Amino acid sequence: MAEAKAAENVVFVGTKPVMNYVLAAITQFNEGASAVTIKARGKAISRAVDVAEILRNRFMQNLSVQNISIGTEQVQGESGTANVSIIEITLGKP
Amino acid sequence: MAEAKAAENVVFVGTKPVMNYVLAAITQFNEGASAVTIKARGKAISRAVDVAEILRNRFMQNLSVQNISIGTEQVQGESGTANVSIIEITLGKP
């Protein structure tokens, strides 16, 4: 059960202010998550890194970066299929 | 010597078109580098991920992601010190 719950602890970073996502991640940790994965694609990738850094430098200093992965997704756009980069950053308690 | 050379194989990603940095990395591999580290900060972080993904999906399919790290740097701005996120993605030959 704990494993299954951990897999759902994801924060999708989009175009809102960075602090919205920081608060979303803090909420998940406060609800018992031992790890939270921050996901983003395209231009939001920089914001995802900001979220992870602000979270572990300012709010939850005990967090460590457990994994970072990058990849490519295909997105249907107006003029056909386009490739977009993605990132997943997993932060966890020790 | 090989170790020392590898440490210098860095591509700093800024505001130029993505392909400029892809070509810079390909050049370093062609000159004998076994690994190249793509670095960026702030909004250029998304572009650094694009560079890594285009490089390994389209031009050098044998490359693998050896390491990805994120961090925070302090930058002197007009109105004092600001924090900026950084990323370092190391791609290497098998």
In this predicted model, what pLDDT tens digit does every residue of B37-47 receive, in sequence order? 999 999 999 99
Buried b / exposed e over A15-25, threshold 16 CB at 10 Å, is: eeebeebbebb
From the list B44, B57, B68, the residue facing A72 with the nearest CB is B57
Chain B residues whose CB is inside 8 A of the A46 CB are 42-46, 85
Neighbours of A33 (CB within 10 A): 20
**Quick one: pLDDT at residue B3?**
45
Confidence of residue B94 (pLDDT cuts 50, 70, 90): confident
Indicate the average pLDDT of chain B. Answer: 92
**Quick one: pLDDT at residue B23?**
97
Average pLDDT estimate for A51-74: 97
**Quick one: pLDDT at residue A24?**
97
Which region, left, alpha or beta, applies to residue A90 given φ > 0 means left and ψ of -120 to 50 means alpha? Answer: beta
Average pLDDT estimate for B49-69: 97
Chain B residues whose CB is inside 8 A of the A49 CB are 45, 70, 85, 87
pTM of the entire predicted model: 0.90
Q: Residue B65 and residue B48: Cα distance in Å, rounded?
A: 13
